[in-house]
Amino acid sequence: MTIADDKLRGIAAIAAFIGESERRTHYLIERKLLPYGREGASIIASKKRLLEHHARLTSGEVAA
């Protein structure tokens, strides 16, 4: 997998990947409840990091 394959750019892409609405996804990012980053003005996220985050949450571990 390349970095380009792993990267999600924008709230819409992140929301589609995690199965949430754009509004809910924006809320989760504002509250820093999802792993994300920025490239200029764009919000980006890693598919791998989102999947790892979800696995921690569903296994009962405390989110980092």
The pLDDT profile of the chain, 64 residues, written as one tens digit per residue, is 788 899 999 999 999 999 999 999 999 999 999 999 999 999 999 999 999 999 998 897 665 5
Cα 35 versus chain centre, distance: 5
Which pTM value belongs to this model? 0.86
